[in-house]
Structure 1
Amino acid sequence: MERPKRTLIKAVIWNLMGLIIMALVGLAMTGSATVGGAMALINTAIGLTTYVIYERIWSRIRWGTQHG
């Protein structure tokens, strides 16, 4: 079973990568670093929260895992 701290660290790293990509896409689409950055921050906050919840739920599901 994965510990909550590991789940959180994985989620933060994944979302930092997404934040950078989303900020660049937002900048390219709007021409505004402020709007692109705001879009990226909102997206990252939602993504981080849902990813952590999703991973914690799956860490409790034994289906498809092997033990011992």
Structure 2
Amino acid sequence: MIGQVILKDKQKSTYKADSTNDKPIRSVAKALSWRVVGTLDTLVVSFVLARDFKIAASIASVDFITKLILYFFHERIWNIIKWGR
């Protein structure tokens, strides 16, 4: 009986991903995959507007880093919000 109580308490304290929560590594994978798509879009749009691949690649590189970080934290915050679940 005491062992069952301890086991239940231990299970409650460990992080478990379920249908409502993603593990942080999943958020990283989602952020990376989305940023690849988004960066390719930024690269194409930047190239069309600037007509210079070097400038377009610079814009896309900065865009990739900043939006990857922003998306990760955006995803983690939304994972906490219970609204709509």
TM over 0.5: yes
Identity of aligned residues (%): 26
Number of residue pairs matched by the alignment: 65
Larger Rg: 2
Q: TM-score normalised to the size of structure 2?
A: 0.72
Matches within 5 A, 1:45-56: 45-56=65-76
Moved segments of 4+, more than 2 Å = none
Structure 1: which 5+ runs fail to align?
none
Q: Deviation at 1:49?
A: 0.6
Deviations 1:6-59 (A, max 9, x none): 111011000001111111111111111000010011111111110000111111
Structure 2: which 5+ runs fail to align?
1-20
Q: TM-score normalised to the size of structure 1?
A: 0.88
- For the aligned residue pairs, the C-alpha RMSD in angstroms reads 0.9
